[in-house]
Structure formats: structure tokens, C-alpha cells
């Protein structure tokens, strides 16, 4: 398949265009792997080196009228995880497609912080480079009410709005920017917000944050902002024109028996307001379903008896955090015609607000908003109950601050919950972190008002880590695993027999790498696989035999790649996983065995990681072993193998954990090896 590519060199301030006709490259993950494996060999260099190119790309269905096909995928070597990684931004390919290329590879390094603006025209790409002195950058971050990444995004739009206007008409354009966290930590994200007629469309913002792509953009390339847009809407579908909704409807009717918008609408059905649940969205549905398996107080709940967990859930989550959300966000929110499960008297009310989406022409309004606060489950869990915050007002301020500072909010919330526990246990002293108090982290005596005290401490800690204000903050900025080892070295004497590492929750990888798992009490999020912290695993709260579990995790990873390598939103994966190969064939007349191709991508990622000398590492923390082993306990009365494993964990926790982990890895490796054998 032909691919159009732009290479943007931040050091030489040049852009060059190229074409790559390669049957192995059918999507942005393929392009990222090709760059990192073959063109730049980034595995030979540390993640901060300029060889760690940031590959930004759209999928082969971008430009079509099909909702969910305009996610922008960013590939890089993660400074946090140490291996190959990718992260995506919803709706951003809508503006990117006007640049005139499939992929943009950011190479070279600017000595000073730099903003790059690219404008696609039929004649090629025009580019503007603007360096921005560090003190001016920090002034932008700290100015405008200290809104960090949001402030820089506003600056980008204001600075370049007129450049993206032709004869009084604003073009489609959009920016990617980083916050201070990317300057000083390994888990800085990339922020982007839809620009609508030259103005930011607040509430539609999205992040590519997992794995720290923002840290790569700044540390490896000196770039703090990239803006793209233009008028070169070049994408064509030579076989069947999928830009035409009526043609696309014909294809969907033939393949799925329903038109495009019906398929898109049904894709989000499980997240609709559900009368039986009394809530909606991932936030509402997850907290309703998770119940006593909700993570609270730094994952300590996994070691509590079910009755205790249930009491905390009922009092703090269901009784306040969730009910507040339902009252303010989901209650009577949907128009009657669009819901099938809500009560017949549901009508738009004065409380109704407009929900948003990422900018796709999609009927799914996935952004649940109250004022300027966008509510997603994972950041509101990591920086909410996990940090002893159970009030929406406190959680809003916590998440907004963490987002503004440009963190991967899941990573920060997880590390903050751990630091709060260390403070609560007396292993750290508040003054060592520049904090004025210890958090309220005792579940029994916890009062809902303590949420606000904990939020204040979280905000102060976030600022301190984002700006690298003190030694411990700088340690934390390296990632949980590195920080745990540094704290153990520094305070080993003081904590007498306890280890910081044992309270921390992370998936270890390579020499010093790690990542925060998705915020679910699910063993799949801790298994030794090439990419963790995303959904390339079997993420349900279940306990299986390790070999069966490896099979399930591998199968899920293969399926997830359908979405990621096509730039498809995960919410549309239901129909996407069924018909993407057929859609590509319809659009381009090219047959691709996606199943085989996706397996090869996974094997290549493993190969890249091996070349970089990074492999899965056995669970280092007691808490992590507890998370996995207690899931066997939870299922011991439901199936034989869970019962058997729980007995083994009780008898020899570390031995059983090692055996489980090793057997899983052996099977997973066999699955990856078999991909190469079958070629």
C-alpha cells in the first residue's frame, strides 16, 4: 500500500516529503515500528536521544465519513516503559488529513523549546518554526491562571490562527502541546483540543498520554507544540468512495446489515444511560459494576476483607462520589428518542447540558462534562478514590490540575496514591516533599470532607513533581519503579524492614522501566506482555490458569490492533473488529489478512524490545503480588483452579507467584514465536 510521509527535522528546521510503497505498512503502528526498527534503530539509543522519533499518523480510513476513524496515533520508545509504545488522540486526524500525508515523523532536536506549524497545500507542506525561550514558556504555563498545557494550547491557536485563514475562512487545524510535566518527568502527555472556526472547543480535549509521548516530544526533540492543518484533503478511496455517506451505507448494509450511523450508535450502547444501573458512561457504569472491587486508598482495598470493601464502597463511592456524578451528569440527560433503556418520562431538563465528542461526525457523545471538567473513569479513579478523594468538586480540581500540568493523569494518580500511603505510614515526612500535612488515609475514620484536604496535597505534589522542585519530586518524575528504588536506597535505614517498593503498584519492564496498569483490579493488567498500561490484555476481573490466560491476553491484543493500526476509536471496536479488513478491501481493492498482520506487529514489538535489551520483569512489589493472588481468593468459591491457586498462594506466596508468572510468559512467548514460524 502506498504511504505518503513527511519527515520534520526540529534541529535542521526542515521538512521533506517521501513515499513508501511497502505491503507491510498499512497503518500508523506499522509506520512507527518501521521507523524505530529500520530507519532510526532507536533501540540503540536511550529514550531521550533524538533517534527516538515521534511518529504521528492516521489510519487508512481517515477521510471517510465513518465515525470513529479519525484517531491520531503516536508511536515512540517510551521513556517510562523503556519499550516500543503508542498512544492515540481522538478526532485529531480530522485536521491532520488536510496536511497531505499519512504519517509525520518528528526527528532531530531543537536546542531551544520550539513550536512547529505545518500547513498542507496541494503544492506541498508549508512550515513555520518558532523558538520560545524557556522563561517565556514557563511564563505561559504559569500565566493565565496557571493552566499549563491548556495555556500553551491557547497560545498556539492565537499565535497561528491568522496563518490558518484563507480569504477570511478558517481552515481545519489543530495543535498538539505539552505541559511542564514533559519538561521534568518521564510521563508527560500530549494534549490536543478541537479548533472550531479558529476557536478552541473546550470540553472536546483529548490526551495521548500513556507511556509519556510528551516527554519524548520535548526531551528527545525540544518541541513543545506541533500544529497541523491546511487545505490538502488528498485522501481518496479509489475502489469505493467512503467519503460518500450513501456509498458507505451501502457497504455497511452489505457487511453488517445496518447503515453507518446505526452501527456507530449501537457501538456505544453499553455506555448509554441505563435505568437499571441509574447511571451512564464509563464513569457511571464502571463504579456501579466494580462495587467492592473499586480501588481505594492506594490499592490497599485488595488486602481488605469483602465486608470492609463493601462498607467503604457503599459509604464513599455509591453514597457520594457516584451519586453526585449521577445527579449532576447523567440524570435525565438523554433525549427520549435516543435511549432504549431509560425511563419513559426522561425528558431534556434545565439540568441538561450538551455533551461532546472528540470532533468526529459521530452520534456517540462520549465526553461527559460539567462546566470545564471532563469526566473519564480512569483519571477520576487514579486521582479520586485511589488518592482518598471521594467528592466530585475535589476530584475535578485534582484531575484538572494534573491535566493542566501535562501529566499522564493515570500515572500521576497512581504514584500519588502510593506517596500518600508512604506519608500515612510515616515512611516519608511531608516537609521532604514540600507538603504542609499528611493526607487523611485511614479508611475507618475517613470523613468525606477529608477529600478536600487530600486534593490540596495532591495539587501541591503535582506542581512539585511537574516542576522538579525537590529531590524526591525529581525521583517521582522518573516513574514509580525508579522512585521506589531510589527511596529505598535513601531511606532504607529509617523504614526498618519495610520497603517503599512493596507498597508501590507498577508493572516492571526492562532495566528500570515500569508503567501504571489500567485502574482495575484485574490480573491481566500485570501480566508479562510487550505493552502494558493499555488494553492489550484480557482486562476483566477473572482468574484463569496461566496458559489459558496467556491465550486470552494474546487474542485480545490481536483484536485491539485492528483499532489502533486503523486509527479507530475503541468505542467502535465492536463493528471495527468485524469489518475493517473488508472496509479496506472495499476502499482500496487490497486484501489484507489483518489477523496475521496484527500478530506480526506484536512479534515485531517483542523483537524491538529485545533489541533494546528490555524484557518483562517478575513482579517486584508485594502489593502487586497481592493484587494478582487475591483475585484467586475472590474466585476460589467459583472455580476449582482459582481455589487451587489460592491454596498455593497461601502456602508459598512468592513461589506460586513466580510459577504463575513464568508459565504465563512461556505460553505467551510460544504464541509470539508461532507467528514467526507460520510466515
Partner 1 sequence: MPEVRVKPALTLTEKINGEIKLRGETVGVILSEFVRKFRPELEELGALVGERGSKLHPSIIVLLNGRNIRFLKGENTKVREGDLIMILPPTGGG
Distance CA 79, CA 221 (A): 13
Q: Return the exposure string of 252-288: e unless at least 16 CB atoms fall within 10 Å of the residue's CB, then b.
A: beeebeebbbbbbbbbbeebbbbeebebbbbbbbbbb
Would you say 203 and 213 are in contact if contact means Cβ atoms under 8 Å apart?
no
Distance CA 294, CA 290 (A): 5
The 3-class SS string of 31-79 reads: HHHHHHHHHCCHHHCCCCCCCCCEEEEECCCCCCCCCCCCCEEEEEECC
For partner 1, give the closer residue by CB, 267 or 625.
267
For partner 1, give the closer residue by CB, 179 or 359.
359
For partner 1, give the closer residue by CB, 78 or 563.
563
Please state the closest distance from residue 353 (CB atom) to partner 1, in A.
Answer: 9
Would you say 328 and 311 are in contact if contact means Cβ atoms under 8 Å apart?
no
Distance CA 540, CA 527 (A): 13
Partnered with residue 509 across adjacent β-strands are 513, 616
Residues near partner 1, by CB under 8 A: 65, 94, 172, 194, 196-197, 201, 243-246, 259, 261-262, 265, 267-269, 271-273, 280-282, 334-338, 340, 346-348, 352, 354-355, 357, 359-368, 376, 571
For partner 1, give the closer residue by CB, 71 or 485.
71
Please state the closest distance from residue 528 (CB atom) to partner 1, in A.
Answer: 31
Please state the closest distance from residue 655 (CB atom) to partner 1, in A.
Answer: 43
Cell numbers standing for residue 89: 488522540
Closest CA to 271 of 325, 322, 330, 332: 330
Would you say 68 and 84 are in contact if contact means Cβ atoms under 8 Å apart?
no
For partner 1, give the closer residue by CB, 243 or 648.
243
Please state the closest distance from residue 362 (CB atom) to partner 1, in A.
Answer: 8
Please state the closest distance from residue 643 (CB atom) to partner 1, in A.
Answer: 38
Where do the H-state alpha helices sit in 93-232?
93-96, 134-142, 148-160, 180-184, 213-219
For partner 1, give the closer residue by CB, 66 or 459.
66
DSSP code per residue over 261-272: HHHHHHHTGGGS
Distance CA 198, CA 530 (A): 40
For partner 1, give the closer residue by CB, 22 or 352.
352
Would you say 24 and 43 are in contact if contact means Cβ atoms under 8 Å apart?
no
For partner 1, give the closer residue by CB, 424 or 573.
573
Please state the closest distance from residue 60 (CB atom) to partner 1, in A.
Answer: 17
Please state the closest distance from residue 264 (CB atom) to partner 1, in A.
Answer: 8
Partnered with residue 169 across adjacent β-strands are 166
Please state the closest distance from residue 325 (CB atom) to partner 1, in A.
Answer: 13
Partnered with residue 208 across adjacent β-strands are 190
Please state the closest distance from residue 358 (CB atom) to partner 1, in A.
Answer: 10
For partner 1, give the closer residue by CB, 97 or 460.
97
Amino acid at each position: 500500500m502506498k504511504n505518503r510521509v513527511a519527515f520534520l527535522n526540529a534541529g535542521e528546521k526542515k521538512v521533506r516529503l517521501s513515499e513508501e510503497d511497502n505491503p507491510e505498512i498499512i497503518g500508523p503502528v506499522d509506520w512507527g515500528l518501521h521507523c524505530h526498527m529500520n530507519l532510526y534503530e532507536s533501540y540503540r539509543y536511550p529514550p531521550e536521544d533524538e533517534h527516538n522519533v515521534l511518529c504521528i499518523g492516521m489510519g487508512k480510513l481517515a477521510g471517510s465519513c465513518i465515525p470513529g476513524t479519525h484517531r491520531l496515533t503516536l508511536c515512540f520508545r517510551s521513556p517510562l516503559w523503556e519499550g516500543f509504545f503508542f498512544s492515540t488522540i481522538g478526532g485529531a486526524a480530522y485536521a491532520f488529513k488536510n496536511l497531505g500525508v499519512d504519517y509525520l515523523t518528528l526527528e532531530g532536536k531543537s536546542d531551544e523549546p520550539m513550536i512547529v506549524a505545518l500547513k498542507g497545500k496541494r503544492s506541498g507542506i508549508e512550515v513555520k518554526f518558532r523558538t520560545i525561550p524557556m522563561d517565556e514558556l514557563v511564563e505561559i504555563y504559569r500565566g493565565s491562571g496557571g493552566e499549563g498545557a491548556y495555556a500553551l494550547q491557547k497560545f498556539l491557536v492565537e499565535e497561528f490562527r491568522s496563518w490558518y485563514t484563507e480569504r477570511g475562512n478558517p481552515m481545519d487545524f489543530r495543535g498538539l502541546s505539552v505541559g511542564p510535566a514533559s519538561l521534568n518527568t518521564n510521563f508527560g502527555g500530549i494534549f490536543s483540543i478541537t479548533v472550531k472556526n479558529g476557536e478552541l472547543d473546550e470540553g472536546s480535549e483529548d490526551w495521548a498520554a500513556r507511556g509519556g509521548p510528551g516527554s519524548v516530544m520535548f526531551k528527545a526533540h525540544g518541541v513543545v507544540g506541533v500544529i497541523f492543518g491546511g487545505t490538502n484533503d488528498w485522501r481518496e478511496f479509489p475502489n469505493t468512495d467512503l467519503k460518500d455517506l450513501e456509498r458507505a451505507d451501502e457497504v455497511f448494509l452489505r457487511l453488517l446489515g445496518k447503515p453507518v450511523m446505526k452501527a456507530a450508535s449501537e457501538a456505544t450502547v453499553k455506555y448509554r444511560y441505563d435505568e437499571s444501573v441509574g447511571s451512564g458512561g464509563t464513569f457511571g457504569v464502571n463504579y456501579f459494576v466494580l462495587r467492592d472491587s473499586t480501588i481505594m486508598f492506594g490499592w490497599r482495598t485488595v488486602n481488605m476483607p469483602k465486608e470492609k470493601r463493601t462498607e467503604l464502597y457503599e459509604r464513599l463511592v455509591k453514597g457520594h462520589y457516584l451519586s453526585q456524578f449521577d445527579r449532576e451528569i447523567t440524570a435525565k440527560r438523554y433525549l427520549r428518542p435516543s435511549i432504549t433503556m431509560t425511563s419513559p418520562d426522561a425528558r431534556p431538563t434545565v439540568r441538561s447540558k450538551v455533551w461532546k465528542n472528540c470532533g468526529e461526525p459521530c452520534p456517540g457523545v462520549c465526553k461527559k462534562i460539567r462546566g470545564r471538567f471532563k469526566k473519564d473513569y480512569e483519571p477520576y479513579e487514579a486521582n479520586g478514590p485511589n488518592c482518598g478523594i471521594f467528592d466530585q468538586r475535589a476530584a475535578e480540581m485534582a484531575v484538572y490540575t494534573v491535566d493542566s500540568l501535562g501529566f499522564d493523569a493515570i500515572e500521576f494518580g497512581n504514584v500519588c496514591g502510593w506517596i500518600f500511603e508512604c506519608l500515612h505510614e510515616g515512611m516519608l515526612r511531608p516537609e521532604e516533599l514540600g507538603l504542609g500535612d499528611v493526607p487523611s488515609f485511614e479508611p475507618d475514620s475517613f470523613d468525606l470532607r477529608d477529600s478536600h484536604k487530600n486534593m490540596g496535597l495532591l495539587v501541591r505534589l503535582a506542581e512539585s513533581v511537574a516542576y522538579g522542585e525537590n529531590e524526591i519530586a525529581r525521583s517521582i518524575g522518573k516513574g514509580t519503579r525508579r522512585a521506589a528504588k531510589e527511596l529505598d536506597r535513601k531511606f532504607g535505614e529509617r523504614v526498618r524492614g519495610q520497603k517503599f517498593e512493596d507498597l508501590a503498584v507498577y508493572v516492571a519492564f526492562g532495566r528500570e522501566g515500569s508503567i501504571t496498569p489500567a485502574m482495575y483490579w484485574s490480573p491481566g493488567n500485570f501480566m508479562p506482555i510487550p505493552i502494558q498500561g493499555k488494553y492489550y490484555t484480557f482486562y476483566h476481573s477473572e482468574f484463569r490458569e496461566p496458559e489459558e490466560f496467556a491465550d486470552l491476553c494474546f487474542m485480545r491484543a490481536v483484536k485491539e490492533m485492528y483499532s489502533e493500526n486503523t486509527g479507530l476509536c475503541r468505542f467502535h471496536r465492536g463493528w471495527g473488529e468485524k469489518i475493517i479488513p473488508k472496509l479496506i478491501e472495499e476502499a482500496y481493492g487490497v486484501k489484507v489478512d489483518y489477523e496475521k498482520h496484527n500478530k506480526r506487529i506484536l512479534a515485531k514489538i517483542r523483537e524491538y524490545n529485545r533489541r533494546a535489551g528490555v524484557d518483562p520483569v517478575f513482579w517486584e512489589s508485594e502489593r502487586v503480588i497481592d493484587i494478582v493472588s487475591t483475585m484467586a481468593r475472590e474466585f476460589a468459591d467459583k472455580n476449582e483452579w482459582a481455589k487451587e491457586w489460592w491454596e498455593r498462594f497461601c502456602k508459598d506466596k512468592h513461589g506460586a507467584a513466580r510459577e504463575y508468572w513464568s508459565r504465563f510468559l512461556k505460553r505467551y512467548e510460544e504464541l509470539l514465536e508461532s507467528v514467526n514460524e507460520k510466515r
